[in-house]
Chain A
Amino acid sequence: MSDPFLLFDLLLAGAVIALAIATLTVRDLFAAIILFVIFGLLSALAWVRLSAPDVALAEAAIGTGVTGALLLKTLHHLRYVTGSLGTNAVESLSPVQPVPAGVSWANAAFCGLITLGLATAFLGAPHAGPGLEGLVAEAMPASGVSHPVTGVLLNFRAYDTLMEVVVLLAAVIAVWQIERGLSDAPAPALGEVWEGFARLTLPAIIVVGTYLLWKGSEAPGGAFQGGAVLAAVGLMLLLSRLYVPRPAHRAVARWAFVLGTGVFAGVALLVASGGRVAFEYPLEHAKTLILLIEGLVTISIAVTLAALFHGREPVAVPAERGDNDA
């Protein structure tokens, strides 16, 4: 590695750590979210420098874009609940209730354990070994796709990816259990400039999201990145009130949530019933099956993330809380 890049990498690493510390220590919640978003963007850049463009795309789209939007929406709700909406940021830093010390310590303990585990894994890994690249490259012809990362995610280690999709499904189920009805917090007025921007960019986002998904079989991209980009369409529609979730849409939404997980698991079972291991796709159908799974998982991810941003199950009358028609 040449010298100028080493300097750049050191600066980048320093900036990422400094931003992480600043995010945790700054008292203004809004500033904390903005710092977190910048932290995510620089982390994405760090992944690019580590030659992992797939992870960089996922970090930028999900870890930064969608998570940032979720955090901002939460802050909007918090400010509404504490009655500090429309006032200055500094006055609205106290949450509804202070976090109990026990929760903080439990959080710290879990983070410490994860750090310890990562450190053990890092130190225990073979130094400068060939890694698994050789094995993957050898098995690539059997995967049905030409991009190694997609081969690993959707074929060799498809179980892990299935579990990731299940995690998203579990998240949206939990959110819909917790809260129902319409948000009382007023939607921010965004104005005509925003509407023009939305009209201009919505078609482009759809094209980019689909492109990321399609490109995934031969280049960095795939279901999670494409899904997160497509989720941005949902976010913009919800923000500009072009789409307002109604109770009648719940059935469609539920099908969309389950679609990815269902088809993913269904294909695994179907393959397994033919006397093979769960994700051992027959070679002649491997690309078709992977594209089918990725396409439907993308739809699920996009709808789920948009639903998480909306944050509650749409119910016509908020008084109908006992209504258990799930």
Chain B
Amino acid sequence: MLEIIATAFIATGAVFFIAGTVGLLRFPDIYCRLHALTKADGLGLALIALGLALMANSFGEVFRILLIWFFVAVASATGSHLIASHARLVDRVHENDPDRERQT
């Protein structure tokens, strides 16, 4: 029973990761892409960590998964903040730059 619930959590998490990746590839500019990526991946990571924690063998493992989740979440939030603020800085330097529309 626990395994089924865990698998469901992990599968849902994977779906969010795929959605985030689709957003990264399809959205028009860097801010929308960051939005898609961080929101979807944050939730996906939390779901996968939850699923893995349910399957863990000991309390120590649960604690480690919790720590990994916490630090990856904080690092990804900080990273996307840095990317976005740098993009804003470059945008101010080049007010009308056609390069922003570049597709990846």
Residues of A bordering B, CB below 8 Å: 86-88, 90, 188, 190-191, 193-194, 197, 200-201, 204
Binding site secondary structure of chain A: helix
User: Does B93 reach chain A (CB closer than 8 Å)?
Assistant: yes
Across the interface, do A201 and B74 meet the contact criterion of CB distance under 8 Å?
yes
Which 3 pairs between the two chains have the least Cβ-Cβ distance?
Answer: A197-B78, A193-B81, A88-B99
Chain B interface residue count, CB cutoff 8 Å, equals 15
Q: Report the nearest A residue to B93, measured CB to CB.
A: A86
Across the interface, do A87 and B82 meet the contact criterion of CB distance under 8 Å?
no
Write out, one digit per residue, whether chain B residues 54-93 have a CB within 8 A of any chain A CB (1) or not (0): 0000000000000100010011001001100110011001
Binding site secondary structure of chain B: helix
* Cα of A204 to Cα of B67 in the assembled complex, Å: 10
User: Does B101 reach chain A (CB closer than 8 Å)?
Assistant: no
Q: Report the nearest A residue to B104, measured CB to CB.
A: A31
* Cα of A194 to Cα of B82 in the assembled complex, Å: 8
**Residue of B67, B71, B74, B90 touching A88 (CB-CB under 8 A):** B90
Q: Report the nearest B residue to A204, measured CB to CB.
A: B71
Chain B proximity of A180: nearest CB distance (Å): 30
User: Does B95 reach chain A (CB closer than 8 Å)?
Assistant: no
Q: Report the nearest A residue to B81, measured CB to CB.
A: A193
Across the interface, do B97 and A86 meet the contact criterion of CB distance under 8 Å?
no
B85 CB contacts on chain A under 8 angstroms: 191
Chain A proximity of B4: nearest CB distance (Å): 18
Across the interface, do A86 and B81 meet the contact criterion of CB distance under 8 Å?
no
* Cα of A77 to Cα of B81 in the assembled complex, Å: 23
Across the interface, do B75 and A197 meet the contact criterion of CB distance under 8 Å?
yes
Across the interface, do A193 and B99 meet the contact criterion of CB distance under 8 Å?
no
Across the interface, do B75 and A193 meet the contact criterion of CB distance under 8 Å?
no
* 14 sampled A-B residue pairs with Cβ under 8 A: A86-B89, A188-B86, A190-B82, A191-B85, A193-B81, A194-B78, A194-B81, A194-B82, A197-B74, A197-B75, A197-B78, A200-B74, A201-B75, A204-B67
